[in-house]
Each structure stands twice: as C-alpha cells, then as structure tokens.
Amino acid sequence: MIESNLSTLMGARRLKVIDVARELDLNRNTIDLLYKDEAKRVDLDALDKLCQFFECTPNDILKFTNK
C-alpha cells in the first residue's frame, strides 16, 4: 500500500492546504487529497512541484508499506 506523508511535511512547516495550493498553483483538492491520504492517483507534475517546494524526493512524500 502506498501512503502519503504530505501532512507530516506540511505540519513541520505549519503550512495550510490552501497556502501550498496557491504557492504551487495547484488545485486545492489535489493537495487536500494527498494531505488526508485519500488520493487514488497522483499527477507527476504535481508531485514534481511538491518535491521542489519541500526540497525532497518523491520517496519523502509517498511511502510504500506492507499493510
């Protein structure tokens, strides 16, 4: 199972979903779904913008678990 770690990254910087969405020019729903770990698919452009913003790799945002 793949899980989103976006809420942890955002929490460390005390960021709100709307702030990240505006800063990256992404749909609020895209960020919200990843934040709540409810996304069924992730656009690679959105993932790229998030990685650049948080200065991390996709592996820091998405993680694989054996659940």
Q: What's the Rg (C-alpha) of the chain?
A: 11
For 3-16, the pLDDT digits (tens) are: 999 999 999 999 99
Averaged confidence pLDDT in the chain? 96
Conformation bin of residue 31: beta by default, left when phi > 0, alpha when psi is -120 to 50 = alpha
What is the arithmetic mean of pLDDT over 50-66? 96
Minimal CA–CA distance to 3: which of 26, 27, 33?
Answer: 33
Does the structure show a pLDDT above 80 at 67?
A: no
Are 49 and 19 in contact by the 8 Å Cβ rule? The answer is: no
Within a 13 Å sphere around the CA of 66, how many CA atoms are in the beta-carbon half? 0
